[in-house]
């Protein structure tokens, strides 16, 4: 959901990604491509890679990172600067930028991602993921999913 935010801040050492792309999910907000472009979004979503906050900012996925103890201050400073801009000016800028992303196909991409998200959860692999969760618990199943080891759902042909 944070990818749908107008501006983002994250701690340097925070973890950011979408591991469910490995099994049991397709990100319905569909902002990955619009923020990163073709190869970087595929690199992350085809592997379920999780990035540090610092790396997420470095590649352009998020806006700003800083050490944990500086986060509140950085956010406050940004807000103080933004509140000096008239609300109508903020609205005009936001509408113009949002229109550009929408014209690139965001809404149809989000609709497709929502359909695919449902399909991932009901695929043979998704069903195996749920069955495994019932057998060993959700936390253990997620741990297995996010490892680089093959699992019961890696190849269900």
User: How many whole angstroms from its chain centre is CA 131?
Assistant: 25
pTM of the model: 0.89
CA atoms of 107 and 14, how far apart (whole Å): 29
Place of tokens 């903020």: 90
Q: 2-122: what fold? A: 2-enoyl-CoA Hydratase; Chain A, domain 1 (3.90.226)
The per-residue pLDDT for range 78-132, each reduced to its tens digit, is 999 999 999 999 999 999 999 999 999 999 999 999 999 999 999 999 999 999 9
CB contact at 8 A, 32 and 41: yes
Would you list the domain boundaries of the chain? Answer: 2-122
């Amino acid at each position: 959901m944070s990818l749908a935010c107008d501006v983002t801040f994250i701690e340097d050492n925070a973890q950011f990604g979408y591991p469910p792309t490995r099994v049991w999910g397709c990100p319905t907000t569909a902002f990955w491509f619009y923020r990163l472009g073709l190869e970087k979004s595929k690199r992350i979503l085809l592997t379920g890679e999780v990035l540090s906050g610092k790396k997420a900012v470095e590649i352009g996925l998020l806006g700003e990172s800083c050490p944990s103890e500086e986060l509140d201050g950085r956010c406050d400073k940004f807000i103080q600067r933004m509140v000096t801009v008239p609300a109508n000016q903020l609205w005009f800028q936001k509408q113009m930028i949002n229109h550009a992303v929408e014209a690139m196909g965001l809404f149809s991409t989000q609709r497709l991602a929502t359909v695919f998200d449902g399909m991932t959860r009901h695929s043979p692999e998704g069903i195996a993921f749920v069955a495994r969760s019932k057998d060993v618990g959700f936390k253990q199943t997620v741990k297995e999913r996010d490892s680089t080891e093959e699992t019961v759902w890696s190849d269900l042909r």
